[in-house]
């Protein structure tokens, strides 16, 4: 099958959607399909051989953040040229309601279009100002995928349509069996040591880092060997300023960790802690920690509960409750058998998120979209007039 995939966000800046697109493309290629990915990127950017650069992106305040997107007549011409040259059996666009390449690809498409929605966004100034255009975009999608139940709920309640729920995938083989970082995770036993891990933007309130910090500070005096390993963006001094002076030497900050090193970071802790307080539509980091064979402790968000199979594959604690988190951490650090049982269940659960498994489910949607269009070419007259 000839598959064209469009990413709306720049490949010059790392991000969850970009990682999803790359992993899906490589899984589909591994299954024997021909794949081309179109994405905003500088012409001289180092890109995988299957990625076509659509030119430099520009920053745009969007959905409470800043998205680096590509839009306008030049981008439209590049999209149309890529589609014509690709002669794809199916076009798979990601976040088509973002004013970028995915939206343009839908408007230029002449065959079946599958759209994946990653976020659970319901309101946006940009969306409000372009309702007419968005209606056309939605009408021209043949099939829709949502990466989470929350994203699917938005489809049903706000966008007048359903979607097949297919989760984000994880390349299990990339995480399994990796070696931890030198000197980690160290000893762990009843009342002694143990290493906790956190990966993310520790300054972002919804990531819930202060909840983990409070639990660590309360627990550390009773466990002389307890350590905390933190990775992600942010200033080192800002992180250490959150801890009492006597505990700072037990906190290690790695800074931004390249994707290639993330498996080793996750393997370097006894417990990976996700204290997030909300705004999560899936929980990608949880599947990655499970794939690395690390025991997960997470706040009881709906998205996290779904990934952890209701607590069978990881320990859940009441969202925002640092005391409950401290209790959960103590129990698990003191009980290697309980950690092993959770990890064993995690191995079973994460197998369902392995990219080859997820990619086959995506292929089923492609086949349905192709069958639904039955080879018909979509009228493109209005695009030429736009």
DSSP 349-380: HHHTTBHHHHHHHHHHHHHHHHHHHTTPPPP-
User: What pTM did the predictor assign?
Assistant: 0.85
| CA–CA distance, 1 with 104 (Å, rounded to integer) | 23
Single out the residue of 161, 163, 365, 133 nearest to residue 281, CA to CA: 163
| Alpha-carbon distance values, 168 to 151, 286, 314, 331 (Å) | 12, 11, 18, 31
- Cβ atoms 88, 111 nearer than 8 A: yes
Cis peptide bond upstream of 185, omega within 30: yes
The first and second tokens of residue 73, run together, are 């007549």
199 burial level (CB within 10 Å; 0-12, 13-18, 19+): buried
Dihedral angle, C-alpha 281, 284, 287, 292, nearest 10 °: -160
- Mean pLDDT, consecutive 10-residue stretches, the chain (386 aa), reads 95 84 97 96 88 77 52 82 96 90 92 88 50 78 88 65 88 94 93 94 94 98 96 96 97 93 97 93 91 98 93 98 98 97 97 97 96 67 34
Say what the pLDDT of residue 308 is: 97
- Within 10 A of 291 (CB to CB), how many other CB atoms are there? 25
Say what the pLDDT of residue 150 is: 73
Say what the pLDDT of residue 162 is: 75
| Alpha-carbon distance values, 373 to 111, 137, 140 (Å) | 7, 16, 11
Provide long-range contacts, Cβ within 8 A and 24+ apart, for 374-379: 377/110, 377/111, 378/109, 378/110, 378/111, 378/140
- Cβ atoms 199, 228 nearer than 8 A: no
| CA–CA distance, 350 with 307 (Å, rounded to integer) | 8
Sequence-distant (6+) residues with CB within 8 A of 208 are 274, 275, 276, 277, 299, 319, 320
Say what the pLDDT of residue 16 is: 82
56 burial level (CB within 10 Å; 0-12, 13-18, 19+): middle
Single out the residue of 231, 219, 230 nearest to residue 193, CA to CA: 219
């Amino acid at each position: 099958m000839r598959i064209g995939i469009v990413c709306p966000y720049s490949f010059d800046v790392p991000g969850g959607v970009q990682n999803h697109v790359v992993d899906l493309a490589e899984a589909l290629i591994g299954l024997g399909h021909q794949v081309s990915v179109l994405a905003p990127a500088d012409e001289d950017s180092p890109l995988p051989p299957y990625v076509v650069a659509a030119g430099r992106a520009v920053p745009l305040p969007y959905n409470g953040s800043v998205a680096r997107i590509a839009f306008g007549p030049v981008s439209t011409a590049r999209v149309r040229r890529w589609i014509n040259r690709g002669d794809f059996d199916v076009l798979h666009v990601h976040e088509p309601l973002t004013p970028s390449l995915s939206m343009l690809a839908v408007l230029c498409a002449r065959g079946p279009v599958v759209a994946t929605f990653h976020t659970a966004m319901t309101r946006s100034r940009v969306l409000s100002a372009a309702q007419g255009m968005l209606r056309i975009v939605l009408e021209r999608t043949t099939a829709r995928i949502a990466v989470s139940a929350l994203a699917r709920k938005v489809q049903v309640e706000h966008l007048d349509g359903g979607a097949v729920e297919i989760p984000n995938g994880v390349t299990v083989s990339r995480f399994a069996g990796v070696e931890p970082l030198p000197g980690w995770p160290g000893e762990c036993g009843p009342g002694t040591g143990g290493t906790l891990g956190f990966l993310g933007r520790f300054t972002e309130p919804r990531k819930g880092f202060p909840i983990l910090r409070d639990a660590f500070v309360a627990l550390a005096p009773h466990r002389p060997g307890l350590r905390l390993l933190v990775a992600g963006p942010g200033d080192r001094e800002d992180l250490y300023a959150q801890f009492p002076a006597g505990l700072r030497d037990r906190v290690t900050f790695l800074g931004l960790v390249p994707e290639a090193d993330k498996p080793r970071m996750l393997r370097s802790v006894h417990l990976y802690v996700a204290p997030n307080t909300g705004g999560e539509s899936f929980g990608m980091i949880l599947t990655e920690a499970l794939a690395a064979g690390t025991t997960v402790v997470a706040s009881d968000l709906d998205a996290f509960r779904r990934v952890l199979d209701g607590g069978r594959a990881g320990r859940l604690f009441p969202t925002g409750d640092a005391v409950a988190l401290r209790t959960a951490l103590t129990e698990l650090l003191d009980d290697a058998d309980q950690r092993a049982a959770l990890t064993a269940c995690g191995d079973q659960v994460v197998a369902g998120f392995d990219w080859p498994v997820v990619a086959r489910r995506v292929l089923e949607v492609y086949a349905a979209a192709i069958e639904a269009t039955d080879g018909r070419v979509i009228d493109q007259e209005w695009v030429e007039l736009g």
